[in-house]
């Protein structure tokens, strides 16, 4: 029987769909913008899939909505080893939960959150000088570390099926700088992580020239009268925005139509309000990981995707380094619809066939 400890950061990822690019220090602002919690649902999805594997599990959890509620919703009768205090949870709650789970001798710490939560878990294990492996269920806005499974379902499957571990990097970024358009990554810790095909890579920040690609995409946008363009984050799309003649948000989502910027650094509600009769989403996969949706652009929600055409653009070099594309929109039916073979634009006329897994 595998003994698994679960800790959930229930506020992780709240800032994503409302355009905050993270939730650290921004919980109240996220709420004012109408943000809803997504981590608990992703925790339940992971635990339900884990339970469906037919493997006997002794599940230990932190109390309330930091694990207990999600475990019970997934059909488990967990052992509760402690609970957070009143009010919003904090880093201190996560760290206390990890210490309690390790003291109970768990075989794995399964955590739900983003890079900040990963840092809290990894640093606590390091402080304890403990080699218990950790595995992340992705629920944050920024997921740069290589300690996460590619989806909640993958995390549930890997948690009960792994037979070896390896050392992986835990990275985090400065969220305030990130909101301002700068990506400052920092290696925070090394951690033992289950090995499996469903484990994501670290984000690679390297690139290549994208000028010709950007020129071609911008030329098409200018020629598409009446079409609303939802332009995703990243350096490739930033080059497109520059070609269109405006100073876009390099790490945010901008909406453009017929020479006018309708929304800059937009949240989900801003994007939905700006959509017209014809809409096109243009995104570029995250280098090294291959995510088209679900990492760095949760503002482009299922509701936005369902009303739009999707065009994926990338340099040949990025595709060579990436291998496959991935989606994790939070809507399993939409993810399945998006999977399969996709033509990715790599030049003015050229397309490359890539598989979305």
- Which pLDDT belongs to residue 320? 82
- Which pLDDT belongs to residue 181? 52
Average pLDDT for 292-302: 92
In a 3-state reduction of DSSP, which class is residue 229? strand
> 50 or 197: whose pLDDT is higher?
50
Q: Tell me the average pLDDT of the chain.
A: 87
Strands 79-80 and 57-61: parallel
The answer, yes or no, to whether residue 336 has pLDDT greater than 60, is yes
Average pLDDT for 333-345: 93
For 196-211, the pLDDT digits (tens) are 888 877 554 433 357 8
Residue 334 CB neighbour total at 10 angstroms: 17
Residues 156 and 14 in one domain: yes
> 182 or 255: whose pLDDT is higher?
255
The three-point CA angle 144-153-202 to 5° equals 15
Tokens linked to 219: 């030329």
The answer, yes or no, to whether residue 10 has pLDDT greater than 50, is yes
The answer, yes or no, to whether residue 33 has pLDDT greater than 60, is no
Q: How confident is the model at residue 61 (pLDDT cuts 50, 70, 90)?
A: very high
The answer, yes or no, to whether residue 259 has pLDDT greater than 90, is yes
Residues 262 and 163 in one domain: no
The three-point CA angle 176-284-226 to 5° equals 100
Dihedral sign for Cα atoms in the order 316, 320, 324, 330: negative
* Class of residue 252 by CB neighbours under 10 A (exposed 0-12, middle 13-18, buried 19+): buried
Q: Which of 142, 167, 194 is the last residue of a domain?
A: 194
**Is residue 187 in some structural domain?**
yes
Residues 323 and 263 in one domain: yes
The answer, yes or no, to whether residue 87 has pLDDT greater than 80, is no
Residues 216 and 155 in one domain: no
For residue 28, the domain's CATH number is 3.40.50.10330
> Which range marks the domain in which residue 272 is found?
211-356
Residues 6 or more apart whose Cβ sits within 8 Å of residue 260: none
The distance from CA 149 to its chain's CA centroid, rounded to whole angstroms, is 10
The answer, yes or no, to whether residue 174 has pLDDT greater than 60, is no
Using CA atoms, how far apart are residues 221 and 354, in angstroms rounded to an integer? Answer: 23
Tokens linked to 264: 């800059």
Residues 183 and 316 in one domain: no
For 340-349, the pLDDT digits (tens) are 989 899 887 7
- Which pLDDT belongs to residue 200? 76
* DSSP tag of 264: S
Residues 283 and 178 in one domain: no
Asked if 338 and 306 touch (Cβ cutoff 8 Å), the reply is: no
Rg (CA), the chain: 20
Phi and psi torsions of 257, nearest 5°: -155, 130
Q: Which of 162, 194, 226 is the last residue of a domain?
A: 194
Asked if 265 and 16 touch (Cβ cutoff 8 Å), the reply is: no
Residues 157 and 18 in one domain: yes
Domain count across the chain: 2
Residues 189 and 227 in one domain: no
Percentage with pLDDT > 70 across the chain:
86
Residues 119 and 250 in one domain: no
Residue 204 CB neighbour total at 10 angstroms: 13
- Which pLDDT belongs to residue 208? 39
Asked if 311 and 342 touch (Cβ cutoff 8 Å), the reply is: no
Phi and psi torsions of 284, nearest 5°: -125, 140
Q: Which of 169, 194, 219 is the last residue of a domain?
A: 194
Residues 137 and 227 in one domain: no
Closest CA to 170 of 251, 88, 113, 230: 113
The answer, yes or no, to whether residue 101 has pLDDT greater than 90, is yes
- Which pLDDT belongs to residue 166? 92
Average pLDDT for 134-155: 88
- Which pLDDT belongs to residue 204? 44
Residues 6 or more apart whose Cβ sits within 8 Å of residue 65: 8, 10, 40, 89
The answer, yes or no, to whether residue 307 has pLDDT greater than 80, is yes
- Which pLDDT belongs to residue 29? 53
Using CA atoms, how far apart are residues 351 and 149, in angstroms rounded to an integer? Answer: 29
């Amino acid at each position: 029987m595998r003994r698994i400890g679960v800790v959930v950061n229930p506020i992780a990822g709240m800032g994503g769909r409302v355009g905050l690019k993270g939730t650290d220090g921004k919980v109240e602002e996220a709420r004012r913008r109408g943000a809803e919690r997504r981590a608990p649902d992703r925790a339940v999805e992971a635990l339900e899939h884990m339970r469906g594997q037919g493997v006997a599990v002794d599940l230990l959890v932190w109390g309330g909505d930091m694990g207990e509620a999600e475990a019970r919703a997934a059909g488990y009768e967990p052992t509760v080893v402690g609970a957070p205090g009143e009010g919003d949870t904090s880093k201190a709650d996560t760290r206390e939960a990890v210490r309690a789970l390790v003291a109970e001798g768990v075989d794995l710490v399964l955590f739900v959150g983003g890079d900040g939560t990963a840092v809290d878990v990894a640093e606590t294990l390091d402080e304890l000088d403990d080699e218990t492996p950790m595995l992340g269920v992705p629920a944050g806005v920024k997921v740069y570390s290589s300690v996460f499974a590619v989806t909640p379902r993958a995390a549930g499957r890997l948690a009960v099926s792994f037979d070896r571990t390896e050392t992986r990097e835990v990275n985090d970024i400065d969220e305030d700088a990130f909101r301002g358009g700068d990506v400052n990554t920092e290696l925070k810790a090394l951690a033992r992580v289950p090995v499996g095909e469903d484990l994501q890579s670290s984000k690679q920040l390297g690139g290549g020239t994208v000028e010709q690609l950007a020129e071609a995409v911008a030329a098409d946008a200018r020629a598409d009268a009446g079409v609303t363009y939802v332009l995703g984050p990243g350096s490739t799309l930033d080059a497109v925005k520059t070609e269109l003649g405006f100073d876009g948000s390099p790490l945010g989502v901008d909406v453009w139509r017929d020479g006018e910027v309708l929304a800059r650094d937009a949240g989900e509600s801003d994007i939905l309000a700006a959509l017209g009769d014809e809409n096109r989403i243009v995104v570029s996969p995250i280098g090294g990981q291959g995510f088209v949706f679900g990492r760095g652009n949760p503002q482009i929600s299922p509701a936005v995707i369902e009303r739009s055409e999707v065009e994926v653009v990338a340099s040949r070099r990025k595709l060579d380094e990436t291998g496959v594309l991935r989606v994790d929109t939070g809507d399993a039916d939409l993810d399945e619809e998006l999977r399969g073979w996709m033509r990715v634009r790599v030049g003015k006329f050229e397309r490359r066939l890539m598989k979305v897994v």
